[in-house]
Structure 1
Amino acid sequence: MVSRLREPGVLRRDVLASFVVFLVALPLCVGVAVASGVPAELGLITGIVGGLVVGLLPGSSLQVSGPAAGLTVLVLEAVQEFGLGALGAIVLASGLLQLLLGALKFGRWFRAISVAVVQGMLAGIGLVLVLGQVYALADEAQPSGGLGKIAGLPGLFVEVVLGGAALTAFLLGAATLALLFLWPMMPARARAVPGPLVAVGLATAAAVLLDLDVARVEVRGLLEAVQPPGAGDFGALADVAVIGTVLAFTLIASAESLFSAAAVDRMHDGPRTEYDKELMAQGVGNTVCGALGALPMTAVIVRSATNVQAGAKTSLSRVLHGGWLLLFAALLPFVIGVIPLAALAGVLVHAGTKLVPFKEIVPLWRTHRGDAVILGVTTVTIVVGNLFEGVLLGLLLSVCKSAWETSHIHLDVRELTGGRLVVTITGNATFLRLPRILDQLESLPQDRPIELDLTGLRHLDHACQVALETWSLRHNDAGTSPVRLVRQ
């Protein structure tokens, strides 16, 4: 990094890029924390650690880490079920597990996770996030569970239509959301300023100047928000439910970070990501965040893409963005206290919609229908159930789909001189194709000698072997025409 900084213009580009990333990260750090049911400062702490700690570690030089919308739903459920104190222990345990996986060279294997499962996971998270933040748009408490959020929408609609504080907050949040969707259509000069910053800034100005009766972010102070987990919190790690949450944090944070790294690598021509080192860097970051009682972190594609597009050339930009967050949280904490919650909800609704791959669903259905089904099942399970069940079901379906597609089998029947039949079986004979194999064999005449040629099989599992031997014995007992099995 030092040698590259000596090149003409590199230092200036990195400094400017770091400030742009800071402007994008600021509202997202605060918004993710509020949506996760924790103090806003904890989101800033995670962003600071993502810059000042992970930014200095090897792995990916340009991707930026911090609190992510993709973990919001899981964090909220964990805080509601186990308490804020246990969150630090869960995040710390996840970080240590990431470190172990990285040391064991598991980083590259995370890329083997089915893309359909990852897309379904993100789509489910996005929909649950949107459903929850729709209530925050109107300063209303969100019901628990995906089905509860859906069932409560008619009541929310009535509250907004009746007017009062709910309508005021909803109009402010809806205006924020509309600006975010329209921002990409603005002139290039205007788009030089990050959309989330503009939207939250204008909503905050409107709330202050018009003295609107809307809920605002509660501020406690950076040092006051730091609450390291205690011995009792670590004791909760013996709970099976907590262990499941740790595994879910680890899987999602690792997969999202490494998928983000692959996407960022396609955006620039600099050094490629070292996946095992990047996984360990994320582990260090989450271990530190857990020790501070902060939110879990992942590499975030929005901030990472902004970093590349702003012209960053080295990891200095992501380190400096953490420094700007620290200075802001230390010197200007009162600014956070005037931000309307409805505006942050608008930012997160926008972020949630971006997690749903609307444009890819129809092409995926046309070309890879099985993957589209896996995506849909994973998404629906997360919305109506929970994240862990959705991911497990998606992975199980992916394994079943792969097993079915690789167990292709072909039976060819030839008649030789003297009426002898030769049945040649090629492909992969597994229990998944056993019904088809037996149906075709049982349709053969019993009064003629049969030779079963298995030399063309690439794989013969135990179930098929036993079934074929049983069929040949039964066929021989039923008549006088013998069956001969020819193996490799």
Structure 2
Amino acid sequence: MLTLRHDLPASLVVFLVAVPLSLGIAMAAGAPLAAGLIAAIAGGIVAGRLGGSPVQVSGPTASLTLVIAGLVHTYGWRATCLITILAGAVQLVLGMFKAARAALAVSPAVVHGMLAGVGIIIALAQLHVVLGGSPQHSALANLTQLPGQIVDMHGHKVMAGVLMITVLLIWNRLPKHIRAIPAPLAALLVAAGIAWVFGWNVTRIDLSGAISSWSPPQLPQGDWHHVAGAALLIALLAGAESLLCCVATDRMHAGSRADLDRELTGQGVANMVSGALGGLPVAGVIIRSTTNIRAGARSRWSAILHGLWVLLFALCLGWTIQLIPMEALAALLVFTGIKTISLGHLRKAHGHHEVPVYLVTLAGVILIGLAEGVLAGLALAALLALRRLTGVTVAKRLEPDGRLHATVSGSLTFLGVPHLTQELRTIPAGTAVDLDLNIDFMDNAAFEAIHSWRLDHERLGGTVTIDDLHDEWYTMAAGGRRVFPAKRPPKPAGRWWLPWTHRRTASATTAVECRLTRGTHEFHRRTAPLLRPIFTQLAAKQQPTHLFITCADSRIVPSLITSSGPGDLFTVRNIGNLVPRAGSQPGDDSVTAAIEYATGVLKVHTITVCGHSGCGAMAALLSGPATTAGLPHLARWLRHGDPSLTRIGADKAEQHHDAALDLLCRMNVQQQLENLRTYRNVDEQVEAGALKLVGLYFDIASAQVSVLSPPTSGFPASTGTRRPPEPSQP
């Protein structure tokens, strides 16, 4: 119970967020408003107690709104409750059979495209309610009839909705002590209070007797195939969202990791309880879970207590809900629906070439239906994955000594054989060929194609040297040994860029000193003879053209990501790729000396600041001083990153932790470029056009380097105010 002092206040914060969202989701689904509160109670108490995540909070979710609305229209509310019970039973069975991991095979682009499509549909439908009208039967109808609705809008109802959205927009820009109240609750209080004081003519919500008047679920009347399909759809969508939410929340806290099968089982029981009591389907909700973690929750008691607070509110204070204008709840849903469209998710999809999957899913959900849109996205994702797996590229270049160097990349299967043979046959007869196989698999058809070409080429007077870069696919097949389909760690010989753990010559149990010694031996044997002439020229003097400032992170290799060699980069590395402003405290002569030497002596042409994704220094800044407790020197150094944290301002509170961290890592690079201008030599050379400042960003997961745009804030206008006084030099 030591965690209760953290969980109790966190549960109150989540409760204040959950009530308005639960009511709004129930309204959008066409269900009784009490159903939203019942789902929040069941999700908090049952899923919180039985689920596999210690910090995830469950309740009604906007992603199922379209499905529930269709079921209510087709079968009625009580029959929909029975379908919810069936969906929970399906989840329970899947969890018992350890099927939870299968949900992680769904492409995130499909999930985020589905959520964005649902968000747009909800926003368009509820916008009609905000304007005083009624939503139409489809997203296109809502869009086409919106102009007419705007012409006929009702004054007081519109004012309540506009007031609600205005408060939501400005709330995170208010002082921190005011923002302790969750934005949805504050906006509802403001809208309801002003509507009551001025006697606005708005639509009121009546929840009297809704909790206590319970009626049992009833059997749906209709084709049982459709009923079973609806239950399966709810089970899969709610289960996938819950499990993906589990994975996301695991990255946001330091506690025990989630048990996905237990989570799926707990969600199944919660859905059965919610359906039996007349509630909406339940799923893990990222907004509530993120709020729970940021409020300091340590255990599942926070989710359970949040459900108890909702229950007490519904039983004792349910009469207060009639003070809330329905247009204000609709405005909350419009705001929430728009926020499901995340540029961060779209950026990640673009980085992995999955934007078509995202857009097809989004368009399918909006234009056709939820299930159809998701299936279309899954089908396209599978086709793109198959295309990548079967794609083969052949790159050829003529070396100065007359040899032809060819590299075959991809997975060599029978599907890529036509393209492979076409490229190989363009190599002139009699040529000496070095063929690198940069592949992760080779089937028999591909082996036969390469081997037959090799025999023909050598028969006509040419020579072929084949090198397997990743395992010995060709060598094993040529020797008659069995080729295993499993992918193996890359082959290290002569490949200096591979980590030690990926090399056969340095196993995981090899001592660090032995790894270093073997590495130097490898350098002397393979690399030094090639570079010795270059080092002989560089021995007398260095003439780098770039000062490269980057993070000390072990995953960042400047020469690798810039394709540079000895003598190109004058490199400075520190935690967080920080450049202390001139004259700042605590001072740092190391970085200052490097800048001074690079600009004054080496006369570099460019200073580059290179940041990267998932930077530990930026994560520590984002998490607050508690992260560096017990590390006084690190905490003092990270003070130089405070301007970067200030730069993103209130935006960090509006985003998921990963998105906020990515934004901070990028903005930190721009801040350090501005800090460079506080040094007199740098500023004068930039003004004269003799020096250029460049920002780079390395996304580790996708191995992509991008050039960041110049800082949008600009530098101060005059030299007299641009920089602080130059510190005295020792």
TM-score normalised by structure 1 residue count: 0.82
Q: Distance in 2 between matches of 1:274 and 1:237?
A: 36
Is 1:325 matched with 2:288?
no
Q: Distance in 2 between matches of 1:153 and 1:284?
A: 41
Question: Which one-letter code corresponds to 2:391 in the other structure?
Answer: H
Question: Which one-letter code corresponds to 1:248 in the other structure?
Answer: L
User: 5 Å matches for 1:82-481?
Assistant: 82-160=75-153, 166-224=154-212, 226-230=214-218, 232-233=219-220, 236=222, 238-240=224-226, 242-362=227-347, 364-365=349-350, 367-368=351-352, 370-409=353-392, 428=411, 433=416, 436=419, 458=441, 460=443
In structure 2, the residue corresponding to 1:268 is in which secondary structure? coil
Give the conservation status (yes or no) of the 8 Å contact 2:211–2:314: no
**Residues 229/428 of structure 1: CA separation in 2 closer, same or farther (3 Å cut):** same
In structure 2, the residue corresponding to 1:337 is in which secondary structure? helix
Give the conservation status (yes or no) of the 8 Å contact 1:138–1:168: no
Higher helix share: 1
**Residues 412/363 of structure 1: CA separation in 2 closer, same or farther (3 Å cut):** closer
Question: Which one-letter code corresponds to 2:196 in the other structure?
Answer: V
Question: Which one-letter code corresponds to 2:177 in the other structure?
Answer: R
Deviation at 1:197, TM superposition (A): 0.6
Question: Which one-letter code corresponds to 1:391 in the other structure?
Answer: V
Is 1:49 matched with 2:34?
no
Give the conservation status (yes or no) of the 8 Å contact 1:425–1:457: no
Deviation at 1:178, TM superposition (A): 1.6
Give the conservation status (yes or no) of the 8 Å contact 2:51–2:264: no
Q: Distance in 1 between matches of 2:21 and 2:337?
A: 12
How many aligned positions are there?
449
Q: Distance in 2 between matches of 1:412 and 1:188?
A: 57
Q: Distance in 2 between matches of 1:461 and 1:361?
A: 39
Q: Distance in 2 between matches of 1:243 and 1:459?
A: 43
Deviation at 1:400, TM superposition (A): 0.8
TM-score normalised by structure 2 residue count: 0.56
Give the conservation status (yes or no) of the 8 Å contact 2:55–2:298: yes
Structure 2: gaps of 5 or more residues: 397-406, 429-436, 450-476, 481-730
Deviation at 1:14, TM superposition (A): 1.8
**Residues 363/331 of structure 1: CA separation in 2 closer, same or farther (3 Å cut):** closer
Give the conservation status (yes or no) of the 8 Å contact 2:123–2:333: yes
**Residues 426/213 of structure 1: CA separation in 2 closer, same or farther (3 Å cut):** closer
Question: 1:328-354 deviations in whole A, cap 9, x for unaligned?
Answer: 111122111221111101111121122
Question: 1:418-455 deviations in whole A, cap 9, x for unaligned?
Answer: xxxxxx9986455754664686699999xxxxxxxx9x
Q: Distance in 2 between matches of 1:331 and 1:395?
A: 46
Question: Which one-letter code corresponds to 1:26 in the other structure?
Answer: V
What residue in structure 1 maps to residue 14 of structure 2? 21
Q: Distance in 2 between matches of 1:104 and 1:220?
A: 42
Task: Kindly name which structure, 1 or 2, has the bigger radius of gyration based on alpha carbons.
Answer: 2
**Residues 426/353 of structure 1: CA separation in 2 closer, same or farther (3 Å cut):** closer
**Residues 177/394 of structure 1: CA separation in 2 closer, same or farther (3 Å cut):** same
Higher RCO (CA-CA < 8 Å; seq separation 6+): 1
Give the conservation status (yes or no) of the 8 Å contact 2:55–2:303: yes
Q: Distance in 1 between matches of 2:4 and 2:298?
A: 8
Q: Which moved more, 1:347-356 or 1:194-203?
A: 347-356
Deviation at 1:220, TM superposition (A): 4.4
Deviation at 1:138, TM superposition (A): 1.6
Give the conservation status (yes or no) of the 8 Å contact 2:131–2:150: no
Structure 1: gaps of 5 or more residues: 161-165, 414-423, 446-453, 469-485
Question: Which one-letter code corresponds to 1:335 in the other structure?
Answer: T
**Residues 441/169 of structure 1: CA separation in 2 closer, same or farther (3 Å cut):** same
Deviation at 1:284, TM superposition (A): 0.7
Percent identity at matched positions? 38
